[in-house]
């Protein structure tokens, strides 16, 4: 019997219990799945960083901690966590993120807001360029970034992907490193942020890098709030260097009611809904990783603690 403890926020247990049991049965896993297994008897922990569990020291038998979220910045620095940590990458996350990115890129590419603001009887034609003439840059080429970038390329956009280290994705233009970042941002008309939150990525969009963009560029951030220097973005919006920012993630969440983003005419706030972990698809990834762990195979989506993701 494999002992699996569910240690996410208690509100998640009713949503995940049956999908997890179904996935375990599908993968032929004989498990005891509960929320209250004694720590010394636990083989695997299903986890989210907002869990009451913050001290992993008693879990001496635990083979792996399986995160329900793609982001691990809230747990990766926990000094009591000595077990392998796997982040969540599943179909639901990738598809949800891709749909959000495509929807908002097309919104800005087609300048839909321009027409929504002019429903007054004035006939003011404004024809958008073709996608091949729209320069889109995606910062971050992990699982989510690669999926979104590939989808944008499939629609014909002049898309460039950038990552901190070298990546090669068939059919995509991929840049990396400091020089690559300058090249990727120079003249970009739409920028999508899909990087993890690490010391190396915080404030990657700042006064200096925002100045590289094509004037009036659109910023889309469904990645992590600290990727953007908020004061620099507000200044760039005020002087026209950035035409619009669509933001799904923030340094403080929920976004405080008095934050200037809420009332800013050139900012769209979405409440961290770009991509949500869905119990049915996430449960299959959890089950597959437990199957792999029990079979002596490498776990999927292991976190590199030195990189922070």
User: Which residues are identified as catalytic?
Assistant: 224, 272
For residue 65, list its beta bridge partners: 45, 85
Residue 248 and residue 274: Cα distance in Å, rounded?
A: 7
Burial class (CB in 10 A: 0-12, 13-18, 19+), 182: middle
| Cβ count near 289 (within 10 Å) | 25
Instruction: Report d(CA 4, CA 21) in Å as an integer.
Output: 11
Q: How many CB atoms lie within 10 A of CB 102?
A: 16
Residue 213: exposed, middle, or buried by beta-carbon count in 10 A (0-12, 13-18, 19+)?
buried
Report the distance separating Cα 226 and Cα 109, nearest Å: 25
Q: How many CB atoms lie within 10 A of CB 117?
A: 9
């Amino acid at each position: 019997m494999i002992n699996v403890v569910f240690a996410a926020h208690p509100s998640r247990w009713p949503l995940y219990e049956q999908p997890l049991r179904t996935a375990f049965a599908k993968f032929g896993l004989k498990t005891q799945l509960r929320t209250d297994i004694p720590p010394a008897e636990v083989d695997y922990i299903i986890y989210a960083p907002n869990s009451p569990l913050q001290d992993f020291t008693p879990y001496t038998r635990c083979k792996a901690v399986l995160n329900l979220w793609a982001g691990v910045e809230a747990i990766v620095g926990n000094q009591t966590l000595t077990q392998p940590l796997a982040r969540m990458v599943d179909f639901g996350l990738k598809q949800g993120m891709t749909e959000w990115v495509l929807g908002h890129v097309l919104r800005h590419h087609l300048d839909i807001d321009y027409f929504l603001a002019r429903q007054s009887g004035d006939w003011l034609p404004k024809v958008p360029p073709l996608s091949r003439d729209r320069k889109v840059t995606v910062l971050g080429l992990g699982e989510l970034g690669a999926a979104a970038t590939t989808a944008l390329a499939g629609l014909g956009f002049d898309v460039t992907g950038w990552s901190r280290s070298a990546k090669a994705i068939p059919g995509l233009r991929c840049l990396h490193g400091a020089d690559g970042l300058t090249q990727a941002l120079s003249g970009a008309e739409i920028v999508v942020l899909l990087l993890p939150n690490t010391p190396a990525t915080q404030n990657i969009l700042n006064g200096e890098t925002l100045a590289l963009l094509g004037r009036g560029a659109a910023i889309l951030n469904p990645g992590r709030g600290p990727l953007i220097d908020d004061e620099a973005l507000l200044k760039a919006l005020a002087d026209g260097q950035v035409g619009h920012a669509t933001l799904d993630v923030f340094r403080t969440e929920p976004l405080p009611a008095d934050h200037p983003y809420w009332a800013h005419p050139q900012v769209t706030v979405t409440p961290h809904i770009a991509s949500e972990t869905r119990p049915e698809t996430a449960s299959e990834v959890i089950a597959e990783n437990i199957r792999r762990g029990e079979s002596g195979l490498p776990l999927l989506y292991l976190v590199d603690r030195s990189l922070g993701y």
